[in-house]
Chain A
Amino acid sequence: MKKKKSITRAKWGYLFILPFFLCYFIFSFIPLLDTIRYSFYEYYRSGLKIVGPNFVGLKNYAGILGPDLFRYMGNTFILWILGFIPQIVIALVLAAWFSDSRLKIHGEGFFKVVIYLPNLIMASAFAMLFFTMFSTSGPINNLLMDFGIIKKKIDFMGSVGGTRTLICIMNFLMWFGNTSIMLMAAIMGISPDLFEAASIDGCNPLQAFFRITLPMIRPILSYTLIVSLIGGLQMFDVPQIFTNGQGNPDRTSYTLIMWLNNFLKAPDYGRAGALSVYLFIVSGILCFFVYQMMKDDDQDGSKKAAKKQKKLAKQLAKNA
């Protein structure tokens, strides 16, 4: 009778999450390993003839690692950052407004729906829409001409800046609503007592935003950043449809996944696999950095306060 009997229900928990892990293992993990395995093989189809798989070592990796890889990576980052910065700024402002109990915005639910709507449209449909609107004989050009704002039609998609800007606007429009709602939820999770107490102490809304809201929603912010970063690295549908898969002009809007997609068209599993592995490594590294950056090792602000006090003391000593 040495055995200590305790009631543990942990096994039920494991049982309930088992289906997810099984699905993940079969549909994600095994293909993932296969991707890595095939990246070491010459394995493609030419017409109806299958070539390979023949083991070729790192040949696929060497073939892909060239100036093009960095160029397309650069394109991807530019497209992501130009879309992400306005997205996060606008989302923060909107979230702060909508969740501020003192502003009492009417029709809050309506606006929440409206800002989320663009996200419901399929990215490809959105890209087609923009493509038609901004084509040289499209409605935007005609409108600008009719109002006399421009004298000659603008070739939006013929210029690097035009194409990139439009892609970023699309990504911004599609995702700012989603981010706003997420941040709103985070802000509403903060105890109202904090804001009340702060306002009694004479804190203005701007201070409340920077001193209370932002630090409190940091975990969600980092989540948003990571999700957006991974989404950005995999940017595909919008530029693909918008530039007809070519990233024109001169491949300046050609993203990594568009490259991958072109490999998969043949399909060339070897080179596509190698590119995926590179992409995996890059996202892994970036996520590590973001995680490090956002990691809060100063939960209650005591370290910061101590630092400040020290600085103050130093200054006082200097003045004295």
Chain B
Amino acid sequence: MRKKVISTLLATSMVLGLTACGGGSSDNGSSNAGSSSAGSSSASSASSSSEQSDGEASADLSKYVSSTDEGKVINIWCWNDEFRTRVEKVYDQVESTSEDGTVTKLKDGTEIHWTVNPNQDGVYQQKLDEALLKQADAAADDKIDMFLSETDYVTKYTDADADVAIPLDALGIDPNSDLADQYPFTKTVASDASGVQRGSTWQACPCLFVYRRDIAKDVFGTDDPDEIHAKVADWATMKASGEELKAKGYFTLASYADTFRAYGNSISKPWVESGSTEINVDQKIMEWINDSKEWLDAGLFDKNIKGQWNDDWNKAMGSKSKVFGFLMPAWGIDFVIKPNWDGKEGSWGACDGPLSFNWGGSFVHGCAGTDNAQHIKDIIMAVTGNKDNLITITKEYLDFTNTQSGMKEIAEDASFKADFLGGENPYKYFQPAADSIQMTTLSSYDQGCVELIQNSFSDYFQGKVDLDKAKANFEKAIKERYPDITAVNWPE
């Protein structure tokens, strides 16, 4: 009897123990979306003439800093080494970075501590949110001083109610004069609802149509960017050209996910309007759904490639692939296509796509509660507000940087050549594309909406479920991700 009691007890405790720890965290091996990273980590040779700091800060800075004495540790949160390499390259106060890339020493003895979490699946945001909620209680040297955010969720952090990102003018940066050369849309994106800019970026990400020159010659008899542009000038033309490509066994684009940003960027209203708890699926998104299904059924996409950032997608950029081209921003050419291309250098070309749109972009924010306001200002100005530095970044990392006049110079510079693109100067096309971008329809729910709508409709495109089922699956998924969402409105 006693044995039985004990064994029952043990079994119960086992069940208790095992069921209590459900829901572990997941590792995700795939590379992260919408961001670029550079391999080079050469120490900086100060090539910049950083803005002289004037020491005078607006009156309301005191609200955002925990101490006016500069602390000895600057904590910067980000999701890869992209920002670090740019800081090392152009911030003239950098002395050296440790081997493992976690600590960067400045000349005045201050240390930058880098905290890196992966962007994919919202992991970075989850960790950052938790840290921000604990910001008030953290020790001075543990407080976050700066953090980065991506276009998909920048709104969440620039929100005036959340008030976690310090307004630039409080730091002593006047967006109108100091950042006048930045692209206006990047400034809009980094501003809160009342137009106060709370972040700044060194890049703008206009997308081009990047295509394989050998396929272009085979099908259209030319690989000239202007002539190829005529073949993809708008969706209808692109579809007609797609039939020509198909006749020779090629796919126009890799997958339906590749066109998503082009549609998603031109929605008329945000996914969730501020103050609302309902998701509005825009007419443009429905167009993407319909067109994607049509294109996939017509054989213009490769049926085997489901979405982006997976193995099949990467292989579509290899020399054996039958995919003609991709819609990619500058970072996409250098960090996505280039590492996956295994053929001759110079086999790709770039021209304007069917419409101009923006994909990605990393914003730099000063974090409320910091004790390094002066350093934050210097770093933001050095990396995002200094034309010479930005041109250095462009030449080094091929980023399309956030300087209108600088990009214009590079676009007109006949000596600037990208070897990977067969000696073409892509900035000739990037630059006008960036001029026409408008982004006014962001919401803090964008990342979830963008990820989940592509996931949910993937089944529909492949004919596994009908349209209504796909809609229902999206509703389920989005309500799981965001508990405060009460309804999803579909256009008529």
Contacts and interface: CB of A to CB of B under 8 A. Distances in A.
Do A and B actually bind? yes
A86 B306 CA distance: 31
A248 B452 CA distance: 12
Interface in A181-230: 226-227, 230
A245 B459 contact: no
B480 A263 contact: yes
A268 B483 CA distance: 7
B395 interface: no
A237 B26 contact: yes
Contact of B459 (A132, A250, A266, A280): A250
Contact of B29 (A124, A137, A249): A124
Contacts of B105: none
Contacts of A230: 14-15, 18-19
Interface string A114-157: 00000000101100100110011110000000000000010100
A259 B477 CA distance: 9
Nearest to B132: A48
Interface in A260-283: 260-268, 270-272, 276, 279-280, 283
B22 A260 contact: yes
Contact of A137 (B8, B24, B312, B458): B312
Nearest to A123: B27
A246 B462 CA distance: 15
A124 B476 contact: no
A31 interface: yes
B306 A261 contact: no
A168 interface: no
B483 A44 contact: yes
Q: Which of B122, B469, B482 has the most chain A CB within a 10 Å cutoff?
A: B482
Interface stretch (B76-84, B156-164, B192-200): B156-164
Interface in B8-31: 8, 11, 13-24, 26-29
A135 B310 CA distance: 9
A35 B20 contact: yes
B473 A234 contact: no
Contact of B462 (A128, A132, A158, A267): A158
Q: Which of A24, A226, A279, A287 has the most chain B CB within a 10 Å cutoff?
A: A287
B162 A250 contact: no
B473 A280 contact: no
Interface string A92-103: 000000000000
A47 B274 CA distance: 13
B304 A240 contact: no
Contact of B19 (A246, A261, A266, A279): A279
A234 B303 CA distance: 33
Contacts, number: 150
Given A28-B16, A32-B20, A260-B22, A265 B481 contact: yes
Contacts of A138: 311
Contacts of A50: 133
Contacts of B26: 124, 236-237, 240-241, 245, 261
A280 B19 contact: yes
A291 B15 contact: no
Chain B binding surface, main DSSP class: helix
A276 B24 contact: no
A311 interface: no
Nearest to A21: B13
A104 B15 CA distance: 39
Nearest to B23: A260
B455 interface: yes
A178 to B, nearest CB: 16
B484 interface: yes
A315 interface: no
B450 to A, nearest CB: 14
Interface string B453-477: 0011011001011000100010011
Nearest to A51: B484
A68 interface: yes
A107 B303 CA distance: 48
A153 B164 CA distance: 50
B67 interface: no
A283 B19 contact: yes
B239 interface: no
B24 A236 contact: yes
A44 B486 CA distance: 14
B163 to A, nearest CB: 9
A250 B129 CA distance: 31
B121 interface: yes
A290 B469 CA distance: 37
B444 interface: yes
B23 A264 contact: yes
Contact of A251 (B20, B306, B473): B473
Contacts of A44: 483-484
Contact of A250 (B18, B161, B305, B469): B469
Interface string B117-155: 000011000100100110000000000000000000000
Contact of A45 (B22, B129, B459, B473): B129
B284 interface: no
Contacts of B261: none
B29 A265 contact: no
A47 B483 CA distance: 11
8 nearest CB pairs, A to B: A136-B304, A268-B483, A262-B480, A44-B483, A46-B484, A249-B464, A48-B162, A124-B27
8 contacts: A47-B162, A47-B444, A122-B27, A135-B310, A135-B312, A241-B29, A246-B456, A276-B20
